[in-house]
Amino acid sequence: MCARKLVSAAVAAKPPFRAEHIGSLLRPAQLLRERARFANGEMAALAAAEDAAIAEVIRLQERLGFKFVTDGEFRRRSYHSFFYAALGRLRIDTIGGVEAVGAGRQGGRGAQPVAIIGSHVQWTGPINAADVSFLKSHSDRWPKITIPGPCALHFRGGDAAVLASAYRDVDQFWSDIVEAFTRELHALAEAGCRYVQIDETAFAKFGDPQVQAVLAARGDDWSTLIDKYIAVTNRVLAAAPKDMHIGMHLCRGVAERLFNALAIQFYFLEYDTPRAGSFTPLSFVPKHKSVVLGLVSTKVPELEDKATLERRVDEATQFVALDCLAISPQCGFASLETGNPLSGEAQNRKLELVCDLARDIWGGT
């Protein structure tokens, strides 16, 4: 049965919406030029360029029919850099010349980012509240804010990075992380944000044998670490504003534990290539949770076939009710400010496809 014939579920009135995207969008050329000038120490109209670019990308999302808007992450160098830097002398970055397991081989990894923890984690004021205010002043759609996951810093360095200089006690580090994320979520709520997406890359990597080997080499059992990260994330979720809708974007993961032990409301999952595997793990999704199927690639310019995507949604309904599904691109178009190798026109066609597909299947976005 074609998914087009399954139009029986209601159009979503709250997150996740039927048509979604992951948050980051390709930066306009003018914005990249101003950012480059600013980085070179020149007098640059960076703030004005950011404001103009964000206002335009808000209009794009509204024209396409999304029920929420993001700022495209246009004020950030990467999806995580701005956030952690606001919590102290903290960063996740590549170290010159250091390569991860698999680098240099076809299909392997390049240099992987590592955590530098130079101070205690401390929330000293709202990080993204101004972004919420800007979105609300330019649109009546739901403002959506994306933040990195609370475990990303530890994942990129382990206990060794925590204890290298800033901490003597790893438990204190985790307490500081939970407090910082909790205070930021409440600051977002006070600014008028009720929709937050956590980008937790750590969970997505645990199924990779090479990552498991790297973790083992530093003294971490990957399976034990999953349980620790779930527990920490659940502490953040339990303390979050009760009326906040919080989803998590993952690439891949350990399905049963992440779907059941993790107290997240909905998941953004990547299903754009055969590498992501089948929909079978979705059989572990509890009936009260939702899944956003990342069926459209942000990595290649070619536009997906709508009929093929409809059939894929239909396949997913074997495991999750249609009323608990939504669709999106599999990842952001620009997790780093340099963006993925496709044009703005190709990006916009893919976003339009997501909205069109949602209307075909559910009768709305």
CATH code of 62's domain: 3.20.20.210
- Interatomic CA distance for residues 333 and 340, integer angstroms: 6
Is 172 contained in some domain? no
Q: What is the number of domains present in the chain?
A: 1
* Separation of first and last alpha carbons in the chain: 22
Residues 63-78: what's their mean pLDDT?
A: 96
Torsion of CA 340, 345, 346, 349, to 10 degrees: 130
94 against 335, higher pLDDT: 335
pLDDT band at 276 (very low <50, low <70, confident <90, very high): confident
Is 165 contained in some domain? no
pLDDT band at 113 (very low <50, low <70, confident <90, very high): confident
Is 5 contained in some domain? no
Q: Which residue has the tokens 């034990």?
A: 224
Residue-by-residue DSSP string for 278-292: -SGGGGGS-TT-EEE
Is 86 contained in some domain? no
Confidence (pTM):
0.92
Is 174 contained in some domain? no
**Residue 195 sits in which domain range?**
17-74+129-151+184-362
Token digits of residue 57: 């990308």
Tens digits of per-residue pLDDT, 183-215? 999 999 999 999 999 999 788 788 888 999 999
Is 79 contained in some domain? no
